[in-house]
Chain A
């Protein structure tokens, strides 16, 4: 977390301890002020108005509210949902639940660069489509889907009344890249504070209020907080922290993008220059500047991670790394399981330095070489054996 965020949060744990819903005393007003200022800060960052921001516990909840809330509210209008196979689990699982309940789902496959195009979405539209949910940037690859193009395509194609609701999980995007929900015709957008150096456990859902006015059935009923869309006492200090995190992200965005891009280029060139078999996954340029996903064929990803354990990398996303299954995101790119087993994601951020990049290059290169020396597959390839022609035993 950014120390400036913690500083902004601190008073709300101690002297400003009120409940933002308490309307008749000073403590409540102070807390409410903090919450509303946070709402403004988030709205400013994404081109929304403060009233369009609904506080949640994070993007997982935001996605659930968006997807299930639309399905329930607009279910009478239609029965069809469009999403993609390489979305985050926080989208896949709510959509799968709706599918079980009888909704018809089109699962779009990305192109070989990992991208969902507006054309692909347009081709999947039906008369009964009520929801399109496509993430802005992929968490494992950093690849950027054509979200503005999808938003505008839907806007042009339909009348306000008939347009399917367009939701984007922008968890990886907001705070790192310029966001304008008005310009890009986005109806619902999920964001989390911890992806922009704010606290964990707080996020928001942007809910468009005009042209069209999006209505949602709440998941959590109770005191009618957040205009009835999300009941429950607000987590005031975390909300203040998310607001501050958004403000800082907006100020540093351009220079930070350039800095991260330079660091990533240094990392990728450093690794690929020394390991000829290494391959970058996903589109070469249409990616978040702070993310790279690299395959090291003939070397198993988990063994490489063990070697570079002091560097925070992952094979698969953190949410799936408890299982031994190769990443479904990489498989969606058309990569074989053996390559998916050999891939690692590197995340660069606000506190990453050039020295750390150089250290990472050295560590990765020396350990991949160590593992290649131990790899029977690499030896076979050096001998000119085609691995795909071998009959491997099952296990």
Chain B
């Protein structure tokens, strides 16, 4: 199978490979997939307590080139985003950016899942839910308006 140039680029020069301290209250960790399915993705975010924005993101992935590229791309996109914005990253955006073929769409789904799990993990540490960030953001938007 031929991989797109972008997949090859992420595979050869993966962005943000690494590990953050799971116990750090500013860190959210999402692990999705299973070894017997041939994909395990771990995605971590670190949130700046001052701004509420994601200041760093790291990943490690066991999987095919498309799975590695999807998670590498996700970490690039996560940096600098609010949690609300991060939750709006869709697997279809990843499919489009990396030109993934239909047989590799599950890699992008996995990356979206990993983002959601990392966000939830962070929010849980702070006694919050996904709904709360959206409500908060909307309230914030309303206030601005």
Contact = CB atoms under 8 A, between A and B. Distances in A.
A395 B38 contact: no
A377 B62 contact: yes
B57 interface: no
Contact of B42 (A306, A341, A376): A376
B32 A395 contact: yes
B25 interface: no
Contact of B103 (A303, A306, A324, A376): A324
Nearest to A298: B62
B80 interface: no
Chain B interface residue count: which class? 20 to 34
A377 B42 CA distance: 10
Contact of B60 (A300, A324, A376): A376
Interface in B1-34: 3, 8, 11, 14, 17, 19, 31-34
A260 B113 CA distance: 47
Nearest to A338: B35
Contacts of A221: none
B90 interface: no
A243 B128 CA distance: 75
Interface in A301-351: 302-303, 306-307, 324, 326, 336-338, 341
Contact of B61 (A324, A376, A392, A395): A376
Contacts of A392: 33-36, 40
7 contacts: A300-B39, A324-B103, A338-B35, A374-B14, A374-B68, A376-B61, A395-B33
Contacts of B36: 336-338, 341, 392
Contacts of B60: 374-376, 379
A394 B39 CA distance: 11
B106 interface: yes
A326 B68 CA distance: 19
Contacts of B31: 376
Contacts of B64: 300, 302-303, 306
Interface of B (DSSP majority class): mixed
Given A326-B38, A374-B14, A379 B32 contact: no
Nearest to B3: A306
A205 interface: no
Contacts of B42: 376
B21 to A, nearest CB: 13
Contacts of A303: 11, 63-65, 67-68
A373 interface: yes
B131 to A, nearest CB: 22
A336 B63 CA distance: 16
Nearest to A391: B34
Given A306-B3, A306-B11, A341-B35, 16 more contacts: A300-B63, A302-B64, A306-B65, A374-B60, A375-B62, A376-B31, A379-B60, A392-B34, A392-B35, A392-B36, A392-B40, A393-B32, A393-B34, A394-B37, A395-B34, A395-B110
